[in-house]
Structure formats: structure tokens, C-alpha cells
Amino acid sequence: MNIVVLLKQTPDTESVIRIAADGKSIVTDDLKWVLNPYDEYAVEVALRLKEQHGGTVSILSWGPGRVVESMRTALAMGADSGVLVDDPDMEGADSLGVAKALAAAAKQLNPDIVLCGSRAVDYDLGQRGAMVAEFLQWPHVALATSIECDGSKVTIDRPIEGGKVTLQADLPALVTFGGSHGIWNPRYASLPGIMKAKKKPLETKKLADLGLSGAECGAEAIKMRTASMEMPPQRAPGRIIEGADAAAKAKEVARELHEKAKVI
Amino acid sequence: MGNSVCVIAEFRGGNFRRVSSEVASEGRRIADVLGGSLCAVAVGSGISGKAADLGAYGVDKVYVADDPSLEHYVAETYVPVIAEIVKKCDPAVVILPASVDGKDLGARLAARLDAALAQDCIQISCEGGAITAKRPIFAGKTLAWCQWENNSLPIISCRPNVMDCLVPMADRKAEVEKVEVALPTPRTRVTGFELDTSGKVELTEAGVIVSGGRGMKGAENFAMLEELARTLGGAVGATRSAVDAGWRPHSDQVGQTGKVVNPNLYIAAGISGAIQHLAGMGSSKFVVAVNKDPEAPIFSKADLGVVEDLFNFIPAFTEEVKKIKST
């Protein structure tokens, strides 16, 4: 089974985010970059599918050279090879442009299944998977919290508001992953894995290699941009409830919520 | 592009969901600014009878695709149908719910229409005819205003529970136009559909959330929070550490790698306040924190802080709430 995982590098979720001087981007100097947690679940699933069906796992990513470090993490977990779309003409591309480039690059890898996170923990636009599937003209099933694949079709559970749906798609298909670390338990890279990862093939591609240009998926093709950023409104300093014991405090909180805040 | 607004209504079990009223109301507001009409797209099975009721929230005309094969949302079947209707409406903006299905639909629809989607927005502005939308990024640590290039169709999904709903105009009905659909043979099938009938409130749509963290000490102690949530008509949430410990299902997780919530009241019990949790609940309208440790970071995000053992406080507080509810 030929498996492709779309991977994004994001700032660690512990990061403090600050707005840059231009007022429309974030300060990146002191950020720690990690493999987007939801994409890490996809890497784990890809490795399990390979263990089950054989085949190869290719990591496909885009962005500047620093992304290679996160790709190596996935290779150290057990993926076989990587392709990074790194082209100056991609700088400033929007989701649509990135998805076009990823779809073209995925096509060249001739996959049976493409896996990725349902969202990225940075800009959280939640659209990469669905867009890539549309450009590939493939079915996609999103937000998987479980997966079964027999080599010709894939079945997932998808949580919806107040319930769950079970969806099945014929391969080739794209699957995005939701859930949590606890559900997928992505494996850690072993020391031998890390050593091996250094020698695994990692190819860099330009848009021209994908038969695309900046006019189609770079800054020139942008349809939506960030006009400005602002910090969320600060909560006014709160009040610590005083009281002789838990019962007195409980009474006071209930009174505040009922009479003043009017939320109960 | 015309000056009309197109909203995509979400149905379940033959009725439109509350988020549909929210996007219709927001769509009405924008349509009035643009001086255009408001059309809605309704896709589902057995929904024709209800579609006209969207008029109560300001919709002028509803395009209805009603077919048994459209009972459940499947991207592959919904997207082509909706894309055709949107093309026909030729709107200035498309607005849909940032529900689980809405987010997925919006993304694939945007790719199909070669348009750009701003996901999970909390405010839409329309100054001088130019649409902009505000959305949280980094799970709400920062907010970004999105703007669209000329001649590019804005698609905006709205976070549930944020947009103000119009007071329904009971007698106002929308004009209904049935759309014939020619569906491709889908390569995707719904093989199971289960709704939780226990009456449990969905976190992202809950008005009140009672969340527990590491301080809960074990799965069994969440019964206490369940009771409080039930008394308040709310839902129970949890921190990542409580979920990772196996005390709660992942669907309860609030935070940057869980759900971002914005209830009227958020009660944090035994939660220290890790930055990734604060990101998920920071936009709650009123926050009460209960923690034994007066230095816990959660207190800096709380309107009311209670330095107390939660095992004493929560049962006492639940009793007080019951007293209020019974008067």
C-alpha cells in the first residue's frame, strides 16, 4: 500500500504568541517548532497500515528548510521517505494555493491513500485535507477517531455534535484525523530510528517540478489575506471569594452568579 | 458577484439546527448592509416542509435539495449540489455554520468554487461593501481579521453560540425552490449513525460548562461535576491531563488540541490553567475557578476565584444552585 502523509510544522502548543511589528503576523524568533500534533496521529496510522498491508510511507510537506527537522521526526518514527515543496514563489500562499501544490505533489507519488491531521494547531483553517481531496477528485472522510482499512476501502468513526457517524470510502481516498494523543498514542522515535532517519531519502521540489507556477498557487494567487491581528480582550481582574468555609463560599458564588452576573 | 448573501443551513432529523438560525440571522444583517436579498441552501432528506421556516430568521428564499440519499452529510454528495446552488445565487458572500460538518463542507466547497474560506469566525464586518471576518488563531491566543481580494468570493463559517439570533418572526415564511439533483455514484457511504439520546449537551454549543482537571484525582469523582452540570443544564469538560489519564473521553477535552468553547459560564474545578487549556476556554463569558492552590494560573483568567478544596466546594455549590433553581 502506497501511503502519503501530509505534514505541517507548527509552533509548539505551549508557545506564547506575540503579534509582530507589522500588526498582521506573529513573532517567530523564539518559537519552538514541532510536527503538528494531528499530523503526528496521521503518521502513526500510516505506520500501522504499513505494518498491516506492507508498502511505503512517504511524508509530504511544504515550507522553508526548518520543516525538514519535523519531517525527519516522522522518518525517525518509521516513515520511508520525504518530499518537501520549498519554493520562494510559495511564500505567502493561502490555503488554496498550498492545497493545489500538495495535491500535485501527492499525485506524483501515486498513493492509494493520503492521510493528514484534521487541523493544524497554528492558524487552524481546517481545510487542507478536504481541499487536497477535491483537487485530486477523490472522496475524503474527515475527523477520524478510529480507522480500519482492508486495502480497498477505508472505514472511520467521525464524532459529530451529540453523536457519531461511521463512514466508508473506496480507495484511493483521503482521511483526516481528529481525536487526541490518548486515542492514537503516536510512537516515539527510537534511537536507531533517529540514526536511520538521517540517511532516508528526502527530496526538495520546486513548483515547476509539479507543473505549477507562483501565479497558480503562490502569493500572486492569493484570495484571502490577514489584514490585521489583535490580542483577545483581557479579562478584568477577577475577585477571590472570601468565606469562613466551603459552604459559605458556595453560597456567595451562587449569589454572585445569580444576582450579579445573571448566568444562572 | 451580486449583492445577495447566501447561507447554508444545517438540518438534522428533519429540523434545522440552532446554528442555522444563527448564520441566517447574521446573513440577514449583512444582506441589509449590502442592500441585497438573503437566500439559503437546505440539503437533506424530508426537510422540504421545514425549509420555509427559515424565513423567520430573515431568509427570503430557500433552495431545497431534498432526497433520501442526502439524509446524512457526505462531502462527496453535498458539495457538488451546494456548489451548483451557490453559483446560481451568485452571492457577495457565503456564510455557513462552523459545525463539525460545516467546517468540512466549507473547505471542500471553497476548493470547488476556487474561493477562500475563513473558518470558525466570531465577527463579520461589512464596511463600504467590503467583507472582513475576525477569527481566533492559535486557539484564541490571537485574533486575525481576514480580508478577501477583489473578485474573490468570501466563504465564512461562523462559530456556534457567537452570532446573535434574530427574534424569530413567526409568520414570515421564505419562498421555497426545489432543486433537482443529479447525484454521482458516491464512493463514500454512511454505514453507521448514532445519536446520543441521553440528552447530553454538546460542549461547543453548551451555555454552561463544568470542567475538571488533574485535581479531580480520578474518573469516579467526575460524577460530582456531572451532577452540577445537570443542575445547570450544561455539559462536562476536561483538561488534556484528565483525558490522557483516561478519566474522560477525548470528546470532552477543552483546549488547543481539544475543543474551543465559549459558554456563558465556565466552571473550572481542579484545573491549574496550562496555557493550552486557557486558549480553549478563554472566550467564555464568565469564568469561575476552584483550586486549592492560590497561585494557580487559572485564577488570572477567572472572574471569580475560590481557593478551596473542590471536594468540599462543588457539592455545597450544587446544593446552592438547586436552591436557586427551585425558587
Q: Architecture of domain A2-221 in CATH?
A: 3-Layer(aba) Sandwich (3.40)
Q: Check whether residue B226 and residue B162 sit in a common domain.
A: no
Question: What's the full length of chain B, in residues?
Answer: 327
Cβ atoms within 10 Å, residue B85: 21
Instruction: For A248, name the nearest residue in chain B, comparing CA atoms only.
Output: B316
Q: Check whether residue B35 and residue B81 sit in a common domain.
A: yes
Which helix (H) or strand (E) segment holds residue B51: the answer is helix B48-51
Decide if B188 is inside a domain: no
The pLDDT score that the predictor gives to residue A171 is 98
* Sign of the four-CA dihedral B174, B180, B186, B189: positive
Grid cell digits, residue A7: 505534514
Residues with Cβ within 8 Å of A237's Cβ and at least 6 positions away in sequence, in order, are none
The pLDDT score that the predictor gives to residue B182 is 82
Q: Percent of chain A beyond pLDDT 70?
A: 100
Interface of A with B in 75-94 (CB under 8 A): 94
Q: Check whether residue B212 and residue B159 sit in a common domain.
A: no
Beta carbons of B111 and A229 less than 8 Å apart: no
Instruction: For B75, name the nearest residue in chain A, comparing CA atoms only.
Output: A140
Hey, of B155, B288, B327, which one would you mutate to test binding to chain A, going by the most A CBs within 10 A of its CB? B288
pLDDT band at A253 (very low <50, low <70, confident <90, very high): very high
Residue A64, preceding peptide bond in cis (omega within 30° of 0): no
Q: In this structure, are residues B151 and A137 in contact, taking their beta carbons and an 8 Å threshold?
A: no
Which helix (H) or strand (E) segment holds residue B238: the answer is strand B235-238
Grid cell digits, residue B173: 415564511
Q: Check whether residue B168 and residue B209 sit in a common domain.
A: no
Q: Check whether residue B166 and residue B263 sit in a common domain.
A: no
Question: What CA–CA distance (Å, rounded) separates B103 from A130?
Answer: 10
Q: Check whether residue B88 and residue B130 sit in a common domain.
A: yes
Q: Check whether residue B144 and residue B211 sit in a common domain.
A: no
Decide if B195 is inside a domain: no
Q: Which of these, B199, B201, B205, lies nearest to B259 by C-alpha position?
A: B205
Q: How many domains are there within chain B?
A: 2
User: For the domain that residue B234 is a member of, what is the CATH number?
Assistant: 3.40.50.1220
Identify which of B120, B282, B308 has the shortest CB distance to residue A232.
B282
Instruction: Write down the domain spans for chain A.
Output: 2-221, 234-264
User: Hey, is the C-beta of A244 within 8 angstroms of any chain B C-beta?
Assistant: no
Q: In the listed set B145, B161, B178, which residue is the last one of a domain according to the structure?
A: B178
Beta carbons of A226 and B264 less than 8 Å apart: no
- Residues forming a β-bridge with A167: A156, B190
Decide if B163 is inside a domain: yes
Beta carbons of A224 and B147 less than 8 Å apart: yes
Decide if B186 is inside a domain: no
Q: Check whether residue B87 and residue B129 sit in a common domain.
A: yes
pLDDT at A95 over 80: yes
The Cα-based distances of B323 to A111, A159, B226, B305, B327 in angstroms read: 61, 36, 18, 21, 7
Beta carbons of B143 and A229 less than 8 Å apart: yes
Tell which phi-psi region holds residue B127, choosing left (phi > 0), alpha (psi between -120 and 50) or beta. beta
Decide if B185 is inside a domain: no
Decide if B193 is inside a domain: no
For B279, the domain range is: 203-326
Question: What CA–CA distance (Å, rounded) separates A42 from B246?
Answer: 21
pLDDT at B272 over 80: yes
**Segment B155-186, tens digit of pLDDT:** 999 999 899 999 999 999 999 999 988 877 88
Q: Check whether residue B155 and residue B13 sit in a common domain.
A: yes
Q: Which of these, A210, A217, A228, A206, lies nearest to A92 by C-alpha position?
A: A217
**Segment B99-153, tens digit of pLDDT:** 999 999 999 999 999 999 999 999 999 998 899 999 999 988 999 999 999 989 9
Q: What is the dihedral of CA A123, A125, A129, A135, to 10 degrees?
A: -120
Beta carbons of A264 and B114 less than 8 Å apart: no
ipTM exceeding cut-off 0.85 for this assembly: yes
Q: Check whether residue B13 and residue B137 sit in a common domain.
A: yes
Q: In this structure, are residues A119 and A126 in contact, taking their beta carbons and an 8 Å threshold?
A: yes
Beta carbons of A223 and B145 less than 8 Å apart: no
**Segment B201-222, tens digit of pLDDT:** 889 889 999 999 999 999 999 9
Identify which of B282, B299, B320 has the shortest CB distance to residue A250.
B320
**Segment B283-321, tens digit of pLDDT:** 899 999 999 999 999 999 999 999 999 999 999 999 999
Residue B250 C-alpha, separation from nearest chain A C-alpha, in angstroms: 6
Question: What CA–CA distance (Å, rounded) separates A176 from A115?
Answer: 6
Hey, of A125, A145, A170, A217, which one would you mutate to test binding to chain B, going by the most B CBs within 10 A of its CB? A125
Q: Check whether residue B172 and residue B211 sit in a common domain.
A: no
User: For the domain that residue B97 is a member of, what is the CATH number?
Assistant: 3.40.50.620
